[in-house]
Amino acid sequence: MKTHPDTVLGRLAVAARPPRPWLRIQASNWWTRVLLAGGARRRPLGGADLRTANLTGGYLRGADLTGADLRGANLDGADLRGARLGAADLTRADLRGAYLTGAYVRGADLTRADVRTSNLDDADLRDAYLTRAHLTRTVMRGADLDGADLSGANLDGAVLTRTVMRGANLDGAVLTRAVLRGANLDGANLDGADLRGANLDGVNLVNVTWSERTRWPDAVAALMRERSVPIGGGRYRVQGSGNTEAEVPAPPVPVA
């Protein structure tokens, strides 16, 4: 936002850079935008104790919340685009409808967090803990979830187009009606996952492990058996050279 020094907003922007750099100002989301446009700096929040804080609709775009304690915090509808949340504790946090496009959330703990209908496009969630997280209808196009723990998570109707989930743990995860078009699940664990009704067009499933408890979409269930080999304990590993349409020379899995 550009401001002219002779206007009210211009004078406020100048006030945002006082001779006392330690001056702390609390402002609404709208005034926060004005002050930041004028050169004000956010108070560092890395490692901050924000347990159960009410940050509903907060303007935290680009904020550094590395390692912050946000357990049980209310971030419903907050703007966290480009924010740094690496190693932050968001256990049971409310992130419904939040904007986390391009956010850095690597290694963060979102166990049982409510992330329904939020936007995580292009977010970095590598090695994040999303155990039993609520991700219904969450949009995560192009997000990086390499090595993430999504065991027991609810991703019903989630948009995971082009998402990278190599080596991710999806044990018992609900992926019903999810859109995984073009996603990379190389080496992921789908033991007990429910993928009924999911769109798996062009998904890379090489080395994915699954079990008799796994529920595949009807259209690919037989193919997945043909593409897989038993590895013991009622579990199988998908063989082949690529996505769900790939030709696979591997021996078929016997159907009980």
Per-residue pLDDT of 193-226, as tens digits, reads 999 999 999 999 999 999 999 999 999 999 999 9
* Cα distance between residue 5 and residue 249, in whole Å: 71
Flag residues of the chain having pLDDT under 70: 1-44, 241-256
pLDDT of residue 43: 58
Phi, psi (5° rounding) for residue 204?
A: -85, 110
Q: How many distinct helices (H) and strands (E) make up the chain? A: 3, 3
Instruction: Give the max Cα distance, the chain.
Output: 80
Enter the pTM of the model.
0.79
Per the rule left: phi > 0, alpha: psi between -120 and 50, beta: everything else, 209 is beta
What is the pLDDT, as a whole number, of residue 148?
Answer: 98
pLDDT confidence of residue 105: 98
pLDDT of residue 242: 53
State residue 90's pLDDT score.
Answer: 98
